[in-house]
């Protein structure tokens, strides 16, 4: 009986030690996330997504899928490997609460084309309107990403990855759209989205 009580107490102490040894959200942002995604969730480079104001549930899903390798990334794999569900939820909440940033666009002549494709699609090529899934303001949903204010370059990379099926999650939903966009349409939509507040 004493041995069983001792083992229970020992396991409780070890569990407590493991929890207290886990890095805080601020430490994780500083040591892992901030280098690429910025300390406030605004990306430090156009090749990385901004996480500020992104939908919390979507962030949780993506982090879980990086961890399970459903979404493959050599960059993200070591960053998420030891994250607990609590850490994932805390990081998602942290970034979701940050304000988004908009981007300036150099070729404003393309913006009306991007707006048209986003809101109406292209019935001649079979591209559905992006607004039907991502919403009027491109804020997404709990299961779909916020696109407003994201870097145009990052959005173009994701469209290319969806088209080539090299993005390993959420591909079915986006492959049709990405495969039917012309290069100019993709650029126009990406630019339009990047400058939205």
Q: Mean pLDDT across the chain, nearest whole number?
A: 91
What is the arithmetic mean of pLDDT over 75-83? 95
User: Which residue's entry shows tokens 């962030």?
Assistant: 59
State the sign of the Cα–Cα–Cα–Cα dihedral 39, 44, 47, 49.
positive
Quote the CA–CA distance of 149 and 103 in Å, as a whole number.
6
Average pLDDT over residues 89-113: 96
Write down the H helix ranges in the chain. Answer: 2-21, 25-28, 34-37, 56-67, 77-80, 85-96, 111-120, 131-134, 152-163, 171-180, 183-194
Q: What is the CATH number of domain 108-194?
A: 1.10.760.10
State mean pLDDT over 78-87: 96
| Annotated domain spans of the chain | 108-194
Please count the CA atoms within 13 angstroms of the CA of 155 that sit on its side-chain side. 23
Q: What is the pLDDT of residues 113-139, one digit of tens each?
A: 999 999 999 999 999 999 999 999 999
What is the rounded distance in angstroms from the CA atom of residue 45 to the CA atom of residue 60? 22
Residue 13 has pLDDT above 80, yes or no: no
Q: Cα–Cα distance between 138 and 149 in angstroms, integer?
A: 9
pLDDT above 60: residue 107: yes
Measured CA to CA, the distance from residue 174 to residue 134 in angstroms comes to 12
Token pair for residue 132? 């039907």
Q: Cα(first)–Cα(last) distance of the chain, in Å?
A: 64
Q: What pTM did the predictor assign?
A: 0.85
pLDDT in the model for residue 171: 80
CA distances from 159 to 83, 165, 179 (A): 28, 10, 8
Return the pLDDT at 7.
Answer: 57
Per-residue pLDDT at 154 = 97
Question: Residue 12 pLDDT more than 60?
Answer: no
């Amino acid at each position: 009986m004493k041995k069983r009580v001792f083992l229970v107490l020992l396991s409780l102490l070890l569990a407590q030690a493991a929890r207290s040894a886990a890095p805080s959200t601020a430490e994780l942002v500083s040591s892992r996330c901030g280098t690429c995604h910025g300390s406030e969730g605004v990306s430090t480079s156009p090749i990385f997504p901004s996480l500020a104001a992104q939908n919390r549930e979507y962030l949780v899903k993506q982090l879980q899928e990086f961890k399970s390798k459903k979404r493959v990334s050599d960059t993200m794999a070591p960053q998420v490997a030891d994250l607990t569900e609590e850490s994932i939820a805390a990081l998602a909440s942290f970034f979701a609460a940050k304000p988004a940033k908009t981007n300036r666009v150099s070729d404003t002549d393309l913006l009306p084309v991007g707006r048209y494709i986003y809101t109406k699609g292209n019935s001649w090529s079979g591209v559905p309107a992006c607004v039907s899934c991502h919403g009027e303001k491109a804020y997404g949903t709990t299961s779909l990403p916020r696109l407003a204010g994201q870097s145009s370059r990052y959005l173009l990379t994701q469209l290319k990855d969806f088209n080539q099926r090299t993005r390993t999650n959420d591909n079915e939903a986006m492959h049709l759209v990405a495969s039917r966009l012309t290069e100019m349409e993709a650029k126009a939509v990406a630019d339009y989205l990047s400058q939205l507040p």
